[in-house]
Structure 1
């Protein structure tokens, strides 16, 4: 029994010594492949960023090129060791194993393909403000598996690319302009003129530097309700959406405060404003 064990161990040792040079060469190839992939992906990424106006697509293609070079090095290393035929034979002959492996990596493959579609379809760019389901914030990166969004609270949310592709996506930045509105309730008095009140509000909106004044985006006012001497007017105006927080939250807040102050200066008693 000891002789048989010794013979088996000796055979394994001889096989290990025979394969050892191949293992060393395969390891060397893999290290070189990783080094070359890092250098080439950096070079490719630099050229793509200089020639492309879309850094999101350039970064995504850079990551893909890096992993492609690493995969090529891994396949060469397996070829040197002699495992490529074994692996392909196992995958070809064991249908159940192939099914299990495919099922296990289904989500990874789905997110990767979704990332490729998002990179080329480009429904958003870096720093665009988007909303996906209940998440709203700036797009910071598109990775191979996830899309990184930084919310206005400073939280980093990693959304699977497949979710981003399937769910409705609202891009607040792409058009460059965003319409907003708020309600003004004013008592214009028995001798007052609601038409004159609307004209005063339009002139105020037109004089504000952060409100769009182009013909395609004019401010306007809708009379929603009137009772006696009280009128409910909804003010509509367009602002730039390049910076979402400034273009929506801050400008709207400033306008509401200034409209109320302007109405009080013109003698309208206790005007009230609402969203």
Structure 2
């Protein structure tokens, strides 16, 4: 028993002696790590100060500052460990970090993908905070661009969180990327109306509205000869291209165009349909050269149109007529009755 206690005591003394020997290295490592920690905090503040003039300075400076701080602290930790354990080489630490990084990368692949996409979005700035964007079926104003996801506020007061990897790898429409935005709307006029007159009235109606820019100028182009109307596309430019301003200006422009066209006798037709009834009881049914309803008359005399009431009257008369039984032939054999024998 005393031998075991003596061995334990000797082990404790050896550990204490090793600690006393390493104590100067530990103190030096703590001092070095503290210096690097202080440098990391200073570097974080410097990065945030350099990005202060940018519109996304809050998010961009915060992310880049944290990355710089983390990298500097990691370097300080490597140096401190090398001081405490001289046998530990930097290459061993890098190798260990690489193996750990691969394992962490496989385990948190989606999180790291969104993180890297968020960094690239903050650096390249395809859109910025307070921009109005359209992504797939979502449309709204960008509220925040974080390292994992971007949040947008829809026009009906809902918040949508979109992963950054989705935004970075798919198409995004930025409605407020430029100062000017063009709006357009198709207006149908009748085939009997004069196109030049209608075009002039549409341009006058657009230019009379406050908010429609004179440069670039508005225009009106014929884009389609539709089934019941001639479609003229009215196009005008607005500034700024915010959603509320766009809707208000479009309401005033379209209202003024409608009132001006109607006041000057321009027709605004709606879709019409012509139905041709074909009398299938006629002897000419199926003969395109004789049949009139729905088919070209061809050569010769054109059959006169028939009304449904007239046709129905003839059908009723034919139904009310007595049925005539055809006379029997005198030479035909008379029916015989068979009896069982």
Listed as ranges, the matches of 1:190-269 within 5 Å are 193-215=194-216, 217-222=217-222, 224-225=224-225, 231-240=230-239, 242-268=240-266
Distance 1:162 1:130 in 2: 16
| Structure in which a larger fraction of residues adopt helix | 1
| Gap runs ≥5 in structure 2 | 271-341
The alignment's C-alpha RMSD in Å is 4.5
The CA deviation string for residues 170-213 of structure 1, in whole angstroms up to 9 with x for no partner, is: 1211232222222323458x6x5332122111111122222222
| Structure in which a larger fraction of residues adopt strand | 1
Secondary structure of the equivalent of 2:249? helix
Determine if contact 1:108/1:145 at 8 Å carries over to the other structure: yes
| Gap runs ≥5 in structure 1 | none
What is the aligned length? 262
Listed as ranges, the matches of 1:1-275 within 5 Å are 33=37, 41-42=44-45, 44-50=47-53, 54-56=54-56, 59-70=59-70, 72-73=72-73, 76=76, 92=95, 99-187=102-190, 193-215=194-216, 217-222=217-222, 224-225=224-225, 231-240=230-239, 242-268=240-266
Determine if contact 1:221/1:234 at 8 Å carries over to the other structure: yes
Distance 1:227 1:102 in 2: 60
Distance 1:196 1:128 in 2: 40
Distance change (3 Å), C-alpha of 1:204 and 1:68: same
| TM-score, normalised via structure 1 length | 0.69
Distance 2:52 2:224 in 1: 51
Distance change (3 Å), C-alpha of 1:264 and 1:93: closer
Distance change (3 Å), C-alpha of 1:271 and 1:264: farther
Determine if contact 1:131/1:169 at 8 Å carries over to the other structure: yes
Secondary structure of the equivalent of 1:127? coil
| TM-score, normalised via structure 2 length | 0.58
